[in-house]
Copies of this chain bind each other. A is one copy, B any other.
């Protein structure tokens, strides 16, 4: 909704807020924040499946009605809570494609596999897909902002001649993010930093991924 996707906390409430967001949303401030905090906590503690609106309301010290007033469903609530809990999608620009891309892959790994709140994304995604509108919201709020940062990396690299000018950025992104995602959700293989390097090697150098030497230190 209004909220300015990214949570630049200072810039949001400071100067006016009253003018923009207006009468409608201001009243809710306390409850609103408590609900999002409770959601984030419960997601981290028990996961997406165990999250109930009732539980959120109780933890937030709020009536269920108040939750439903602002979010139409569990999915919508979680999308917003996760989006705020995740680090804002910062720009990546080391000047070197290889390095930028490695950062991007590691970020994905961290989000999906390590951050307490990002690990609910697979379940959230599966749930959101059942309703096209929620699917759209899921992508707009959680996925696109983070994708954009990497698309910029690739576009810059293409401008520098490090990638073909007609590079299909979507496929490239889907390849590394998908590989990470799929490991976590489906194949169950471990997600390590080695994987990040294998993926970058494949994407930038066309290097077929090979198994690490058995005596090598674990990733």
Binding site for B on A (CB under 8 A): 47-49, 122-123, 125-127, 129-130, 135, 139, 143, 147, 163-164, 166-168, 170-175, 177-189, 195, 198-199, 202-203, 205-211
Contacts and interface: CB of A to CB of B under 8 A. Distances in A.
A202 to B, nearest CB: 7
A179 B175 contact: yes
Contacts of A210: 164, 166-168
Contacts of A189: 170, 174
Contact of A180 (B135, B178, B195, B209): B178
Contacts of A175: 175, 178-179, 199, 202, 209
A166 B211 contact: yes
Given A174-B179, A175-B179, 10 more contacts: A49-B127, A122-B185, A167-B210, A168-B211, A171-B195, A172-B208, A177-B182, A178-B180, A179-B179, A206-B208
Nearest to A190: B170
A170 B195 CA distance: 10
A127 B188 CA distance: 14
A89 to B, nearest CB: 15
Nearest to A205: B206
A174 B181 CA distance: 9
Contacts of A171: 179, 195, 198-199, 202, 209
